[in-house]
Amino acid sequence: MAKPLSNTVDKGAANRGALVSDFTRQLVPILPLLVLIVVFLIWPIVNVAIMAFEDNYGNFTFDNFVVASQGVYAQAFGNSISLGIYSALLASIPGAVFAYIIESRGSEFLKRIINSATSVLANSGGVPLAFMFIAAFGAEGSATVLLKAIGLDIYAGGFTLFSYWGLVLVYCFFQIPIMVLVFSPAVQALRREWTEAARSLGASKWQYWRHVGFPLLFPSFSASFLLLFASAFSAYATARAMTVGTIALVPLMIGTLIDGNVIVDQFNLGKALAIGMVLVTALAMVPYLLIQRRVARWQK
């Protein structure tokens, strides 16, 4: 039996229900987090976003956005979006399988090792990351030399680390750990009882995955996929160290426009590109939310 006192929250809420919308009521407890996000992220960015609508003299204009959606900038958006998708595709599946294997078979000790390692690796990037791969797979890298010794010359077929696909490969070094890290809790939540229940009801492996495992994991998988997309879409330092700008990518252009030594004609173009990145992310949320809704219905 519920004690009347501890139930006041719900009762009060129900009484006010007619006056206060569900949404606002749900909003109150997350205010501390919202405040931090607003102060340390949204407010600063809004200040920058306003500048995206200004010309060099502070007058209102759409010109920055017009330029940002044309020519080499449009191409950069295309490249960055495809890089995000390929990288997410390539990293999500091995990451998910690895997470599943570790969570289902690994000892507690192994899990801690994996957990610590993935936390660190997920945050690797930039010049040091590029260097690690150069040290291994560069023209004189240890792996290259090793493979050559057993008769496999990876540079014979025109391979180069410093290209679009080279980036996709190097990004795996932080993308797969991100996937493992974010997806593991979902696998952990696949409770043993469900497997056993399914088994005792005579479900085959295929049936279990089709009706229990997959539907339960899919929302988490798509949430992780979206994160991987955003992560590769926006990666900056590693790409800069490996391409010196020879591939059109939005984050590189923003860096050049806002922080380059070569000063640009349109001061605020870089800010317009930054807003463009936020818009692409918002658009990427749409298919994601549709999938989530679909799955929610399916689970019922």
Partner 1 sequence: MKRLGFKLPSAGLFIAVLLAGVFVLLPLGSASEYSFRTPALGPGTYGWDNYAWFVSQPDFGTFITLSLLLAAVAAGITLLVLVPTVVWLNLRGQKLRPLMEFLTLLPLVIPVVALAIGAQTSLPVELQSNQYSLSFFYFVLALPYTYRTLDIGIRAIPLKTLSEAARSLGASQIKVIALVLAPVVRGAVIASVFLTIALSLGEFTLTSLLHWQTFTTWVTVISQSNILGAIALSVFTIVAAFALLLVVGLVSIRTKRRQVTEE
Partner 2 sequence: MRFKRFAAAAVAVVAAAGMSLTFAAPSQAAINYCKVTDLQSSANGMNGLVAAAKKEGVLNVITLPRDWANYGEAMDLFSKAFGIKINDDNPDGSSAYELQTIATATADKQPDVVDIGVSALNSVTGPGRPSIFANYKVQNFADIPAEWKDAGGAWYGDYNGIIAIAYDSSVSPAPKKISDLTNAAYKGQVALGGDPSAAQEAFMSVFAAAIAKGGSVTNIQPGIDFFKTLKQNGNFTSVLANGANYVSGAYKISLSWNFNAPGAIASAKAAGKTLKYVIPSDVALQGTPYIQAINKKAPHCAAARLWEEFIYSENKGKTSDKITAADKKLPGQALFNTILGGQNIFVSGGATPITVKAMTKKGLLIKAPAGLDVPKSAKLVMPSPDNQAAGKSLVTSQWPNL
- Residues 6+ away with beta carbon under 8 Å from 61: 53, 54, 55
Segment lying near partner 2 (by CB under 8 A), choices 97-105, 114-122, 153-161, 170-178: 153-161
**Chain-centre distance of CA 247, in angstroms?**
21
Is residue 47 within the footprint of partner 1 (CB under 8 A)? Answer: yes
How many angstroms separate the CA atoms of 165 and 209, rounded?
33
Residues facing residue 60 across a β-bridge: 54
Among 20, 113, 244, 285, binds partner 2 (CB under 8 A): 244
Is residue 290 within the footprint of partner 1 (CB under 8 A)? Answer: no
* Binding footprint of partner 2, residue count (CB under 8 A): 49
Residue 155's binding partner out of partner 1, partner 2, none, with CB under 5 to 8 Å set by partner kind: partner 2
How many angstroms separate the CA atoms of 80 and 231, rounded?
11
Is residue 23 within the footprint of partner 1 (CB under 8 A)? Answer: yes
* Contact criterion met (CB below 8 Å) for 271 and 51: yes
Is residue 19 within the footprint of partner 2 (CB under 8 A)? Answer: no
Among 45, 67, 81, 154, binds partner 1 (CB under 8 A): 45
**Chain-centre distance of CA 14, in angstroms?**
38
Q: The dihedral of CA 53, 58, 63, 69: what is its sign?
A: negative
* Binding footprint of partner 1, residue count (CB under 8 A): 113
Quote the least distance from Cβ 221 to partner 1, whole Å: 9
Helix, coil or strand: residue 60: strand
Is residue 166 within the footprint of partner 1 (CB under 8 A)? Answer: no
- Residues 6+ away with beta carbon under 8 Å from 3: none
Is residue 142 within the footprint of partner 1 (CB under 8 A)? Answer: yes
Quote the least distance from Cβ 108 to partner 2, whole Å: 29
Range 256-285, binding partner 2 (CB under 8 A): 256, 258-265, 267
Among 216, 227, 247, 272, binds partner 2 (CB under 8 A): 247
The DSSP call for residue 283 is: H
Quote the least distance from Cβ 146 to partner 1, whole Å: 9
185 closest CA partner among 221, 210, 228 = 221
Q: The dihedral of CA 135, 92, 223, 178: what is its sign?
A: negative
Residue 246's binding partner out of partner 1, partner 2, none, with CB under 5 to 8 Å set by partner kind: partner 2
Range 27-66, binding partner 2 (CB under 8 A): 28-29, 31-32, 35-36
Which H or E run includes 133? helix 126-137
Binding region for partner 2 (CB under 8 A): 9, 28-29, 31-32, 35-36, 71-72, 75-76, 127, 130-131, 134-135, 138-141, 155, 158, 160-163, 240-249, 252-253, 255-256, 258-265, 267
